[in-house]
Structure 1
Amino acid sequence: MSSPPPTASFVIVANRLPVDRVQGPDGEEIWRRSPGGLVAALEAVMHDVDGAWVGWPGQADLELAPFTADGIRLLPVTLSSRELQDYYEGFSNDTIWPLYHDVISPPQYHREWWESYVQVNQRFAERAARAASQDGTVWVHDYQLQLVPQLLRELRPDLTIGYFHHIPFPAHGLYSQLPWRDQVLRGLLGADVVGFQRGQDASNFLTAVRRRLHLDTKGTTVSVPGSVPRTVVARAFPISIDTTPYVELAARPDVRARAAEIREGLGHPKKILLGVDRLDYTKGIGHRIKAFGELLDQGTLSVEDVTLVQVASPSRERVDAYAQLRDEIELAVARINGDHDTVEHTAIRYLHQGYPREEMVALYLAADAMLVTALRDGMNLVAKEYVATRGDHRGVLVLSEFTGAADELKQAIQVNPHDIEGLKDAIMRAVAMPASEQSRRMRALRKRVLENDVNAWSHEFLVALDAVRRTR
């Protein structure tokens, strides 16, 4: 008789495993650590405890036994092609994502998508329930798995359960559009601690809980009735980045030399403006390009003096709204470049691809100003990455007030990206800012980012979760 699989005292549940399946140098398939803040945030925690990670391995219909990579025990969850279409591309990214980002794009509501979302969340919950040891801790992540906390609590009431929401949570007037609004709220309230990026997101959640479920809230807590009444904590835990690799790369001579090459390749403009985003309608890329184009049209800026580099990494290309956005952005870039390019200078260098971290740091070092003009963003870690690289205390951050980062990075030039004239003024302030003012602002920004890094974020959340466990 085979022995039961080992359990873990600490389990992460996320849509994706922290590794990607790639081809090795000899054509063999190997697992490589995924880029991204969540993996960096939790890697140290996973190595310090008896941990396991539940997630989808990134390929449809791939059935894998549990395995270990980078010292982390990984527990794969299989998703079919149809489930990826309905649960992931459908409900997660064409219903929840646009609804939670202030309906910038119209959400689609389909019952079959919801049914798939429920089924997949149940599968994740069951996998986590089998993985966690008695009285263990489970930390669930993000909008794809909002039902998991309640489903898991029903299966394993002995567990301490945390949930962190990486994207915004909408105001009640928008949230109430969701046909399954009450089910999602109950799903989240299965957790002991529900974390959000901003205080406003937590407040929106608590308002929805009061108005929809008629539960009592006090401060940052919710009283949940039942055979064993519970108190759920719901508050902000602003996420950050692992600053160390960005600081180290920015100091490397080869990366600094690459930054100089980038400036030379752009024709040595006086100023380089940089945008780095996933190609997503929430990121305000079109607003940024429009403002820059108008400054060129008016003669306020010249293509010889200022270049905009826009990195727009591919995203959800099978979703119609994203395919349409790509066409709109590329047409706008082509028109501006057609009107203003010279043989030696390009107005907008548009790069529809992703880059390794070394190249991104070189771009950050080459840029005189970073333009973060998201229409709605849970946090925006690109803003923090740019700040972390600026050890010379030069450079300017132009930051949308609709990002979570705006709550922390007060010394940035904050803008309303819907206000094109205001955005143009902010770009001109960044272009003309004296070195002394750049230094004063950037020193304060770097102090904030370096002191409140991703390790501080994960520690703060886990301390709050441990406090709940100790009061039981």
Structure 2
Amino acid sequence: MGEKTARRPGGGGGYDFVVVANRLAVDRLTYQDGSTGWRRSPGGLVTALAPIMAESDGAWVGWHGAADETLEPFDHEGMHLVPVPLSALEVEEYYEGFSNGTLWPLYHDVIARPEFHRHWYEAYRRVNQRFAEATAATAAKGAVVWVQDYQLQLVPAMLREMRPDVRIGFFNHIPFPPSGLFSQLPWRQAVLRGLLGADLIGFQRESDARNFQRAVRSRLGLYIRSDQVYVVSEPSSDELGSSIAGHGEDPARGLGTRRTSAPEDGGHRISEARAFPISIDTERIVALSERPDIIARSQQIRRELGEPSTVLLGVDRLDYTKGIRHRMKALEELLAEKAVSPEDVCLVQVASPSREGVESYRLLREEIEATVGRINGEYDTMAHTAIRYLHHSYPVEEMVALYLAADVLLVTALRDGMNLVAKEYVAARRDGGGVLVLSEFTGAADQLKQALLVNPHDVDELKASILQAVHMDEEESRRRMRTLRRQVTSNNVQRWAQDFLNRLEELS
């Protein structure tokens, strides 16, 4: 499974850098002979953190992906991996339930209706406690612990109660909602107190950090100055564990009364909340875009599509936040108005499977597939199709070939923490071609301002942007892409990770 990771002498048998995430940094493989093994996950987070872990004696705590199975810690490619077991019921209630049935829709502006169930929260609290205990047992004295994402928002405070010696960072990969929406959550104070256990809390956008700060100020009454929250009391595990946590407001603990000045008695701890926009492994995408076989594959894709004048591309998880229905509505109206034709314009829609055990996602898939069938039935010709719909996940090599084949990338998310597909498309277009149509409700819109920014809820505006992209002259498209590429290539995922960890070090 890889060489044994050397532990730091005098580290108390623990690891100096610990990443805590819902999933481990590896995927299980089953070979033809029935044996199993592991391979490193291809995601950008693993790519960014694996070298740091190798240099600093690192461990990764997470679920290994199989329910009702307990594995011992093991080593793989320079990383010490600590599997946290989950039962099938916990996967249903903690992950599919509270994480993705309650938090995900609530944090994405209630595009879908969140569900609030006490037994879901209890499963969430119980699993977060298990992650915190595994982390406390793994970290060396004075270690740096970086907790990842919305599935583990209670872990920082739980870990701080067990291990006050460690430095704790937390990064929220999805949006953080406005205070008015967040206040709907029955366990709002428990979640805020859980996050405030971290020394540094990172968000994708400045607006997300501000939303969190407003929620802390209004729900907990804590003083905030220059992104720094003055935490005047720490929650106990009993507070985080109570199914009614967040309903009682105790002014003696700093709840329910807004502070207008910093505590004067020094009995506080600082927790900083600010934006650290995540990025991609730019060098890898650029290198793939230069490979002759991938360039040849991009040319083959265009031939297979019937050599349309313009290839539109959408790449998304099949999720109601991604605005897939909105872009198809816009294309359907453009076809009906004869502003475009299937001979000239083809939309390739990659919709990778997502949470197929959840009813709302199953219904979304049925709706999208019915829409594709209706549009193609109305507008296809014998030689050309209006929409080529692909409900698959593809390796990164095929995705880069699609990026090179596409004249226009449509990112029409209704709400998105960042949207790394937009950055991958820009990185792949070292030829200077391509146009990016980008929703203003993505984190990427804060940085990629030379894209055609759109409000995907406004179908007329979306139609106009698609036509502008289709008919944009080459000089303008190349000027925009040059600016976009400078931004993406100078801010890769390794720089994001280092910036966060450097700031965490400064705060300590």
Under TM normalisation by the shorter chain, which class is it? over 0.9
Aligned-pair identity in percent equals: 62
Residue 49 of structure 1 is aligned with which of 56, 77, 80?
56
Greater alpha carbon shift after TM alignment, 274-283 vs 317-326? 317-326
Q: 1:226 to 1:391 in 2, by over 3 A?
A: same
Equivalent in the alignment of 1:180: 187
**Partner secondary structure for residue 460 of structure 1:** helix
**Inter-partner Cα distance in structure 2 for 1:43 and 1:429:** 41
Deviation at 1:35, TM superposition (A): 2.1
Q: Which residue of 1 aligns with 2:489?
A: 450
CA distance in 2, matches of 1:357, 1:25: 23
1:120 paired with 2:127, answer yes
Deviation per CA, 1:398-424, whole angstroms, max 9, x where unpaired? 000000000000000000000000000
Cα drift, residue 25 of structure 1: 4.5
Partner deviation per Cα, 1:349-400 (whole Å, 9 max, x = no partner): 0000100010000000000000000000000000000000000110000000
C-alpha distance in structure 1 between counterparts of 2:295 and 2:69, whole Å = 42
Determine the C-alpha separation between the residues in 1 that align with 2:39 and 2:467: 42
Could you tell me which residue of structure 1 aligns to residue 157 of structure 2? 150
Structure 1 runs not aligned, ≥5 long: none
Alignment of 1:65-104 (within 5 A): 65-104=72-111
Shift in Å at residue 468 of structure 1?
1.2
Task: Give the whole-Å Cα distance in 2 for the aligned partners of 1:390 and 1:44.
Answer: 27
CA drift at 1:65: 0.6
What residue number does 1:266 align with? 305
* 2:171 corresponding residue in structure 1: 164
Aligned partner of 2:36 in structure 1 is 29
Letter paired with 2:356: E
Distance in 1 (CA, whole Å) between partners of 2:480 and 2:187 is 45
| AA of the residue aligned to 1:220 | D
Residue from 383, 389, 394 that aligns with 1:355:
394
- Answer yes or no: is the 8 Å Cα contact 2:12–2:141 preserved in 1: no
2:244 is matched with none
* Cα distance, 1:177 vs structure 2: 0.3
Is the 2:282–2:489 contact (alpha carbons within 8 Å) kept by the matching residues of 1?
A: yes
State the match for 1:132 in structure 2: 139
Once the two structures are TM-superposed, the CA of residue 28 in structure 1 deviates from its matched residue by 1.2
Matches within 5 A, 1:60-459: 60-226=67-233, 229-459=268-498
Cα pair 2:448 2:487 within 8 Å, conserved: yes
Q: Which residue identity does 2:228 align to in structure 1?
A: T
Task: Report the alpha carbon displacement of residue 226 of structure 1 after superposing the two structures with TM.
Answer: 3.5
Structure 2: give runs of 5+ residues left out of the alignment: 1-10, 235-266
TM-score (norm 1): 0.98
Q: Are the counterparts in 1 of residues 147 and 170 from structure 2 also a CA contact under 8 Å?
A: yes
Write the distance in 1 (CA, Å) between the matches of 2:422 and 2:33: 38
TM-score, length of structure 2 as denominator length:
0.91
Q: Flag as ranges the 4+ runs of structure 1 deviating above 3 A.
A: none
Give 1:45 shift: 1.2
Q: Distance in 1 between matches of 2:187 and 2:472?
A: 49
Helix, strand or coil at the partner of 1:65: coil
CA displacement 1:172-212 (0-9 Å, x = unmatched): 11000000000000000000000000000000000000000
Letter matched to residue 93 of structure 1: N
Indicate if the aligned counterparts of 2:310 and 2:346 stay in contact, CA closer than 8 A: yes
SS at match of 2:143: strand
Residue identity opposite 2:22 in structure 1: N
2:12–2:140 Cα contact (<8 Å) kept: no
Per the TM alignment, residue 244 of structure 1 is displaced from its structure 2 partner at its CA by 1.3
In the alignment, which residue of structure 1 is the partner of 2:263? Answer: none
SS of the aligned residue for 1:205 comes to: helix
User: Alignment RMSD, CA only?
Assistant: 1.0
How many matched pairs? 466
Distance 1:410 1:278 in 2: 24
Cα deviation, 1:128-162, whole Å, max 9, x if unaligned, reads 00101111110000000000000000000011000
Q: Give the distance between the partners of 1:307 and 1:336, measured in 2 at CA.
A: 12
- Whole-Å separation in 2 of the counterparts to 1:362 and 1:230: 50
